[in-house]
Amino acid sequence: MSEQRTMDPRYYQLLQQLQALDFVLVELNLYLDTHPLDRDAIQQYNRHVQDRWKVAQEFEAHYGPLTHFGHSYSGTPWQWNNSPWPWEV
């Protein structure tokens, strides 16, 4: 399965989208720590959370879990044996 993942361009597209969304979410989170009443920023944050959830769901449905310790489901057989893991790419 690992060879199949690395040859699929969609695998890398989804990871890139997740990285971009994570960057935006971290920046908005930092901003909101100092501007907690900014409704526009809160709306942007929530919109990006939804977008990230959708992309993560698509990634996990095709390529397996993104995070460990109960934050992502695993199919059968145990999918954590499949590499490369998202942080290795």
- What predicted TM-score, i.e. pTM, was given to this entire model? 0.76
- CA–chain centroid gap for 2, Å, is 19
Contact 64, 82 (CB under 8 A): yes
Query: What residue spans define the domains of the chain?
Result: 2-84
Residue whose C-alpha is closest to residue 1's, from 80, 68, 67, 57: 80
Q: Residue 2 pLDDT more than 70?
A: no
- CA–chain centroid gap for 79, Å, is 17
Q: Residue 45 pLDDT more than 70?
A: yes
| CB-CB neighbours of 60 under 10 Å | 19
Here the tokens at position 18 are 């997740």
* 57-76 pLDDT per residue, tens: 999 999 988 887 666 665 66
More confident residue, 60 or 77: 60
The pLDDT value recorded for residue 89 is: 72
